[in-house]
Amino acid sequence: MHFLNNKSVDPYYNLAVEATLLERDTSEIIFILWQNDNTIVVGRNQNTYQEINQLNCFNDKVNIIRRISGGGAVYHDLGNLNFSFIINVNDDSPTTYEKILEPVISVLNKLGVAAVFSGKNDIVVEGKKISGNAQHRLKNRLLHHGTLMFDMNLELIGKYLNVDELKVKAKKIQSVPARVANIKDFLPFDISLTEFKEMLIEEISKTATEIKFSEAELNHINDLRDNKFLTDKWNFEEPEEFDYSKKFHFESKGLVEANLNIKDGKITRIKFYGDFLGSFGTKIIEDLLTNIDYKIETIRGLLTEELVDEVFGRNFTTNEIIELLFN
């Protein structure tokens, strides 16, 4: 295992570090611990303008950044600790959320916190979410990253993030702060976030080799920071106007919104948004469904269960995507 204790709190730099290490040619598992200061991190497939309270974020100088993985928008402050695993995908490697999270849950359990894996990508304690996770695939490399809400100001989540009304109704929830909690509240003794971080390092990466960056990698990190992750083009993606919009929350899977332009019976443009947890991004399926007949049989003939799984996440089916597009 290779380990990086990334002490930067600049989200634009931190996501560039992750992306650079994802590209690194190594057979070793990479483990990273890092923090972002006063930041909203939006999922790769989300419409940033819909997800954030723009006025509150502007007034409080909140950093806004889009990550390369799917899932929903989250708020980070210095009471939150992020972790990343980067793994080569092969027959023996753990790739499911539950399997990858085992060492993290084990550390929490050893500290006396009754943490368990829940749903499709969460760690919870007594029904309260303390960690959300997402994944991204680059060829045979898998990035898995997550949050550990240790001592956050949870009220700021509701101040800076909007929650889709369809999702609220589907999950029968009232607010984000009401269903999340800090790890610190469940500890049988008082420790600081720094001490908690040291325990994670001791348990997970005790014998790991410390990561060092080459000059070329450092240049690449700075280039990604300045020319990708810091840009409005990446973080906001100016929304297009579409003729049709269809949206549905699939229980235990996520919210999917399909936007379409249709002319002379053909799909001329299609864009998917949502907090679904596919690991390959939506472009591959958007390209596949562009300039084709807007007919059920045409789309059914193009979609495969494997493709739907890669784009939207495990347990999504082709029938569900077709129902979304034609209901």
- Mean pLDDT computed over every residue of the chain: 94
pTM of the model: 0.91
Judged against a pLDDT cut of 80, whether residue 323 lies above it is answered with yes
Average pLDDT over residues 306-319: 94
Q: DSSP readout, 48-111?
A: HHHHB-HHHHHHTT-EEEE-SS-S--EEE-TTEEEEEEEEE-STTS--SHHHHTHHHHHHHHHT
Measuring CA to CA, how many Å separate 201 from each of 36, 42, 104, 206, 217? 18, 27, 10, 6, 24
pLDDT tens by residue, 74-113: 999 999 999 999 999 987 788 899 999 999 999 999 999 9
Judged against a pLDDT cut of 90, whether residue 168 lies above it is answered with no
Judged against a pLDDT cut of 60, whether residue 42 lies above it is answered with yes
Tokens of 106: 């084990």
pLDDT at 92 (0 to 100): 79
pLDDT tens by residue, 116-167: 999 999 999 999 999 999 999 999 999 999 999 999 999 999 999 998 776 6
- Domains of the chain and CATH, by start: 2-236 (3.30.930.10), 244-326 (3.30.390.50)
More confident residue, 177 or 149: 149
Average pLDDT over residues 247-259: 94
Tokens of 238: 């100016």
Tokens of 140: 């045979």
Sort residue 113 into left (φ over 0), alpha (ψ -120 to 50) or beta.
beta
pLDDT tens by residue, 201-242: 999 998 899 999 999 999 999 999 999 999 999 999 877 889
With CA atoms as reference, report the closest residue to 36 among 70, 54, 63, 1: 63
